[in-house]
Amino acid sequence: MASDRPLLISSPETPRAVEDLPTIPIYIDLAKSGSENPKLASAMDLHNPLGNSANTEPTLNSYFQRSNSSIKSRASRGNSVREVSFDNSGSKPPRHGSRGGESDGFSMSQRELSDEDARLIYINDPGKTNERYEFAGNTIRTGKYSILTFLPRNLFEQFHRLAYIYFLVIAILNQLPQLAVFGRTASILPLAFVLLVTAIKDAYEDWRRHRSDRVENNRTALVLGDEGFHEKEWKNIRVGEIIKISANDTLPCDIVLLSTSDPTGVAYVQTINLDGESNLKTRYARQETISRMSQNERMSGLIKSEKPNRNIYGFQANMEIDGKRLSLGPSNIVLRGCEIKNTAWAIGVAVYCGRETKAMLNSSGAPSKRSRLESHMNTETIYLSGFLVSLCTIVSVLAAVWLRRHRHELDYLPFYRRKSYVDEGDPKNYKYYGWGWEIVFTFLMSVIVFQIMIPISLYISMELVRIGQAYFMIQDNKLYDEASHSRFQCRALNINEDLGQVKYVFSDKTGTLTENKMEFQCASIWGVDYSGGTTCIPGDGFSAQVDGQVWRPKMKVKVDPKLERLSKIGKQTEEGKHIHDFFLALAACNTIVPMVVETPDPDVRLIDYQGESPDEQALVYAAAAYGFMLLERTSGHIVIDIHGERQRFDVLGLHEFDSDRKRMSVILGCPDNTVKVFVKGADTSMFSVIDKLSNMNIIRATEGHLHNFSSLGLRTLVVGMRDLNSSEFDQWKLAFENASTTLIGRAALLRKIASRIENNLTVLGASGIEDKLQQGVPEAIESLRMAGIKVWLLTGDKQETAISIGYSSKLLTGNMTQIIISNKSKESCKKSLEDAIVSSNKLMTQSGVAQNTEGTSGTARTPVALIIDGTSLVYILDGELEEQLFQLARGCSVVLCCRVAPLQKAGIVALIKKRTEDMTLAIGDGANDVSMIQMADVGIGISGQEGRQAVMASDFAMGQFRFLVPLLLVHGHWNYQRMGYMILYNFYRNAVLVFVLFWYILYTCYTATSAISDWSSVLYSVVYTSVPTIVVAILDKDLSSRTLLKHPPLYGSGQREECYNQKLFWITMVDTVWQSAVIFFVPLLAYWGSTIDGPGIGDLWTLGVVISVNIHLAMDVMRWTWITHAAIWGSIVATVICIFIIDAIPTLPTYWAIFNMMGTGLFWLCLLGIIVGTVLPRFVVKVLYQYFFPSDIQIAREAEKFGYSRELGGGGGGGGMQIEMNPILEPQQRLNR
């Protein structure tokens, strides 16, 4: 059969092909490992057949929370090839996650909620419901501001940035007469402009939210009144009112169903607006309320429910009606935002409204993250602040010395003149406050003059650049998923550049590496393997005759001819009976809803099996292919066509899957008047409830088949059953009814009751479902590995399945040595880790690799793969053993964690984040990946088959795992290179102007005056130099996408922080000092002794600075476009025009200064000298450095430019260029260098 699955073809990388490789055993214990730690997974509440004997058909709770681990199989004992196994089970199994029936919650379950603790809702009596205390109205408000609160709240939020507070203080100081350096209006403009732009953006976004709120609140719904149902606006709906919803309508609030158009009370609900899942779910009304509403009676009663909470998968309440107490659970409530489908109408009572609805309580977004570059930028900002303080201190100290030396001349110096002789009598001091205060004022005035050392425009420039980068990522067709017609989503604009520095990728398996489109492949029934090998052929498709029409399953399934033939025998033989029971279990033990779909042929209908779990859908389609076709499901029975004979089975009870039991069961009343319980679940939970006193041969054979299935990468689960006698059923029913009416601890009670009936089972068999790899996954992982990125697989699957997927995805290779850790106690985990570290170090030492498997030493290295299970992680992630795991894992090429719970996934990510500076990325598609996605530096959600929980919690979202390669290697590289350069350039361009002002102060008796006009100082960062920076940071490309994808090691430049680091920062500052000196001293020396005034030479300095920094930028542009040309050269032209306008205003002190200067040849000679003096040294150094110390990027650019890209890296030709990429080093090795 393996040959029929091209994505799992046996190859040199599969285990079977390397069976002759050596195995390095340390010590092995063949005892079975325990189940994963259920404490770390969320528990589901279980509910409810009808709690009263008045109705013979109990209400079926068909809400089923899909969990991948529900079909995971038990880890087998076989040793992998070339592995070091650490499996100790000598100690007691872990107690973690034992909060089942024996938990504290169970001990509380007998307590009733008091009136003070419960939410009392009087049905159809909103006045009495809200009499005691007012419940929230149904008005929603997602806007942040109102007209009155916008200004203070928005300013408060903006001033969370310390830089804004800094500039506010500067503006306030400049308003003081003693410190006024610039014009008072001009000093406020930069900060006011940034605040205004941000406020306009925030106001627009909030206006859109308010507009959406108005539309939502003014929608109408049918509400029951004195004269029947009438329309009422959503915002006026109150808790306790009865509401009628029609087909395809959206629910205005959370309601408990009372009646539906279906006689059995079922309603089909689509929750795509809530969790993104498009599959239909079933919700049910209680039979007692159905009869009351159908008779048009005035409905009354009391609902005692839990307080509002965010759990969209849980609900606990009781309903008292006609003296009866009925239990209510998740299957009885429909949440706001859901849509009614395939149901003419539904009636319910409002229990949560407005901000108390579960949808609104879950409306908060993902936690905010800050990029690594921005964090580093804050460090450099502190350095610049130190520069600023140093410059101001130098000026104030020199001013103090000058004042002391000239204290006797201050009254007469024409440019200082301390005394004022305007008034008659003794002259008084004119703005002179004494030597000490003059020093203080000089320091503060210097701060005002040098304020732009901290670039306020950098923040808004970064936001604009990130928006531009996000646009190009969204529009990239390489990130467009044709299957789902979905484009790349950029949900967090503030970490675009982090995509270029990723070192670790933590990936889920199901739905992330695989398609999550399950296909039934094989089965083991009563100890017989029906995998069939290559004999599996596509079935003709089983069909059933219903009311003169032919009903066929919508999806065809490959069938095994032998098994298909045996399934038709029925229960005439022992073998046929077991096959019959097996497929009956697959068709009945689920929550699938059959939906009939019309076809062009009026005599043919297709059955579309709707359900929340792709695994269940695959099993039901498989049962239909073998002649067990599920035709109908209601709240109390199901109808199955068994090889042409329609049979009705009463659903007497249902225990849904939960993370503690890891199985589900259904109790059926069969046509032969027998009662049977069918159970399916993970092998780790199923074999613990199988009757081992009989049929041990069957159990052993099934275990062997499970191992074979999982070794092929198939998802497995075990099916069992047993008959119930009348006394057992009556005991179960009584206990279930009592448990269903409790509010506190109901889930624990129901788990305990389920565990009592799910025992002494007869194993029927096991199934194997294939979840194929997504297109391009092996190639993507190989590219990521070549880029120096370590890929860790975190999955809930069993070990064999995970290893098989690891080989087929090229995550594991044949030359890797596997270290397997599987333990059941803290002590054994500790010893296993110690032995594994010794073994790993020995392997690396023997291969010439010491402490870093990613390094190169000239000798063949032996890569190591660590495989660890969730049970071991329970003890390791406790804290004491984390460091040992980190030391072991960091030296491994691959880490594969199997049987892990959602919070354990987050714990693994935190393990790396806390101990390294490396960038982490987590990618997943399901709700169980949310914790991992939010913990990582970068979180990516796959918009796949498991809803949108992962997408809604992510920073970025896309359709396929393979898109990770262009996202990181292309856009991530570009974003990091552009943003790193833009930050350094912004520091440089502002520092140049500051140092020019500093040199000027040294030649003006340290008086903190400025030769550059106030308006030019304001416009410098806004008009003169801002646009080119933004344009280059959005459009520039150091390499083409083709080159970056062809040579993944080029991605290492981001990991090595080549584009932004402290070395580059200090080099830039040195260059800044030199350029500022040239700009200042060339005109100063040229005009020394002339009669030129301050505004004139100030305009020359302004033009010199603007032209120099723009030519500096032009030298570093790598990919020119017409927009880039327009931005850079247009910026210079705009500067000249602005200076012309400023100097043409008669009221300004700079009047006509530039026109007088430009009329002389010396002016143009000075400009030429400034350009040559600032640009030439940098150009020479850059050429020499690139010639003698070229980087990978520079070599690739040169090869790309001259057409040698196909030979880059020694592609294979005899005369090709042999280029060795720089090694990607760990942080410690970077420091050692």
For 721-778, how does the pLDDT look when each residue is reduced to its tens digit (9 = 90+)? 999 999 999 999 999 888 877 767 777 888 899 999 999 999 999 999 988 888 999 9
Strand order in the sheet with 645-655: 528-529, 514-525, 762-773, 715-724, 675-681, 663-669, 645-655, 637-642, 628-633
Q: For 435-486, write each residue's pLDDT tens digit.
A: 888 888 888 888 888 888 888 788 888 989 999 999 999 999 999 988 878 8
Residue 58 backbone phi and psi in degrees, to 5: -65, 155
Helix (H, G, I), strand (E, B) or coil at 794: strand
Query: What stretch of H or E contains 1101?
Result: helix 1094-1116
- pLDDT: which is higher, 1172 or 458: 1172
Q: Could you give the residue numbers annotated as active site?
A: 508
Q: How many CA atoms lie within 13 A of 7 on its CB side?
A: 19
Whether the pLDDT of residue 102 is over 50: the answer is no
DSSP state of 40: G
- Closest alpha carbon to 283 in 256, 304, 310: 256
Per mean pLDDT, which range of 363-367, 507-511, 525-529 is the poorest?
A: 363-367
Side-chain-side CA neighbours of 662 within 13 Å: the count stands at 30
The Cα 265–Cα 60 span in angstroms is 10
Report the candidate in 342, 321, 192 with the shortest Cα–Cα distance to residue 260.
Answer: 342
Measured distance CA(464)–CA(1033) in Å, rounded:
10
What is the DSSP annotation of 182-225? S-HHHHHHHHHHHHHHHHHHHHHHHHHHHHHHHHHHT-EEEEEE
What is the amino acid identity at position 752?
Answer: K
Helices (H) and strands (E) in the chain, counts: 39, 41
Return the closest-CA partner of residue 1208 out of 1232, 1189, 1223, 1192.
Answer: 1192
Residue 322 burial by Cβ neighbours in a 10 Å radius (0-12, 13-18, 19+): exposed
Query: What is residue 1178's DSSP assignment?
Result: H
pLDDT reported for residue 540: 53
How far apart CA 812 and CA 1004 sit, in angstroms, is 71
Q: At 13, is the pLDDT very low, low, confident or very high (cuts 50, 70, 90)?
A: very low
* Vertex 766: Cα angle to 765 and 770 (nearest 5): 155
Residue with tokens 């960091």: 890
- At 374 the pLDDT is 84
DSSP helix/strand/coil, 317: strand
The span from the CA of 268 to the CA of 36, in Å, is 34
Residue 832 pLDDT more than 50? yes
Contacts of residue 492, defined as CB under 8 A and 6 or more positions apart, other chains included, come to 366, 368, 369, 955, 956
- Strand duo 345-352 + 254-260: pairing: antiparallel
In 847-901, which ranges are continuous DSSP H helix?
Answer: 870-876, 882-889
Per-residue model confidence (pLDDT) at position 694? 74
Residues comprising the chain, all counted: 1233
Report pLDDT for 178. Answer: 64
Between residues 287 and 393, the one the model is more confident about:
393
Taking the C-alpha atoms of residue 1010 and residue 186, their distance in angstroms, rounded to an integer, is 14
Bridge partners, 765 (sequence order): 525, 719
CA distances from 1135 to 193, 394, 1163 (A): 19, 31, 16
Q: How many CB atoms lie within 10 A of CB 900?
A: 32
pLDDT in tens, 850-883: 444 444 433 346 789 999 988 888 888 877 889 9
Measuring CA to CA, which residue among 1063, 1060, 1064 is closest to residue 976? 1060
Chain centroid, CA 82 distance in Å: 35
Predicted pLDDT of residue 858: 38
Backbone dihedral region of 1209: left (phi > 0), alpha (psi from -120 to 50 degrees) or beta?
Answer: left
Provide the token pair at 81: 């090839």
Q: What is the pLDDT of residue 1?
A: 36
CA-CA-CA-CA torsion sign (692, 694, 699, 701): positive
In the block, residue with structure tokens 């030019």: 1016
Provide CB contacts within 8 A for 321, sequence distance 6+: 123, 288, 289, 292, 300, 301, 302
What is the CA 793 to chain-centroid distance, rounded?
A: 16
Q: What is the pLDDT of residues 300-347, one digit of tens each?
A: 899 999 889 877 777 888 899 888 888 888 889 999 988 998 889 999
pLDDT of residue 430: 60
pLDDT score, position 468:
93
Closest CA to 246 of 363, 386, 347: 347
More confident position, 182 or 908: 908
Pairwise CA distance, residues 775 & 779, whole Å: 9
Backbone phi and psi for residue 38, each to the nearest 5 degrees, phi listed first:
-70, -15
| Cα three-residue angle 699-567-70, rounded to 5 degrees | 50
Is residue 684 over pLDDT 60? Answer: yes
- Radius of gyration over every alpha carbon of the chain, rounded to an integer in angstroms: 37
Chain centre to alpha carbon of residue 262:
40
User: What is the predicted pLDDT for the residue at 417?
Assistant: 58
The per-residue pLDDT for 1068 is 94
CB atoms within 10 A of CB 197: 13
pLDDT for res 116: 62
Average pLDDT, the chain: 80
Q: If DSSP codes are grouped into helix, strand and coil, which group holds residue 34?
A: coil
CA angle (62, 112, 237) in 5-degree steps: 60
Q: DSSP letter at 500?
A: G
Report which listed range, 798-807, 888-897, 966-975, is most confident. 966-975
- Helices 726-740 and 746-757 cross at an angle (nearest 10°) of 170
Under DSSP, the state recorded for 1006 is: T
What average pLDDT does range 57-71 have in this prediction? 32
Structure tokens at 1078: 């040239």
Angle of the 973-1002 helix axis to the 372-405 helix axis, nearest 10: 0
Q: What is the pLDDT of residues 597-646, one digit of tens each?
A: 888 988 899 999 987 778 888 999 999 999 999 999 876 889 999 999 99
Contact predicate 898/908, CB 8 Å: no
The strands making up 302-305's β-sheet, listed across from edge to edge, are 119-122, 302-305, 317-321, 324-328
CB atoms within 10 A of CB 440: 14
Write the burial class of residue 800 (CB in 10 Å: 0-12 exposed, 13-18 middle, 19+ buried): buried
Residue 518 β-bridge partners: 771
Q: Give the separation between CA 1164 and CA 1166, rounded to whole angstroms.
A: 5
Torsion of Cα atoms, 951 then 161 then 919 then 983, to 10°: 110
Between 31-35, 138-142, 534-538, 549-553, the lowest mean confidence (pLDDT) is in 31-35
> Sign of torsion, CA 291 292 293 295?
positive
User: pLDDT confidence of 223, banded at 50, 70, 90?
Assistant: very high
pLDDT tens for 143-182 read 888 889 899 998 888 887 767 787 788 778 777 766 666 6
Contact (CB, 8 A) for 503 and 790? yes
pLDDT tens-place string over residues 342-385: 889 999 999 999 989 888 886 654 456 778 888 888 888 888 88
* Per-residue pLDDT tens digits for 1202-1225: 875 444 444 443 334 444 555 544
Report the DSSP pairing between strands 428-429 and 419-420: antiparallel
> In which region does residue 902 sit, left (phi positive, over 0), alpha (psi from -120 to 50) or beta (all else)?
alpha
Q: 3-state SS string over 1028-1073? A: HHHHHHHHCCCCCHHHHHHCHHHHHHHHCCCCCCHHHHHHHHHHHH
Per the model's pLDDT, the better-predicted residue between 143 and 1134 turns out to be 1134
- pLDDT for 742 equals 75
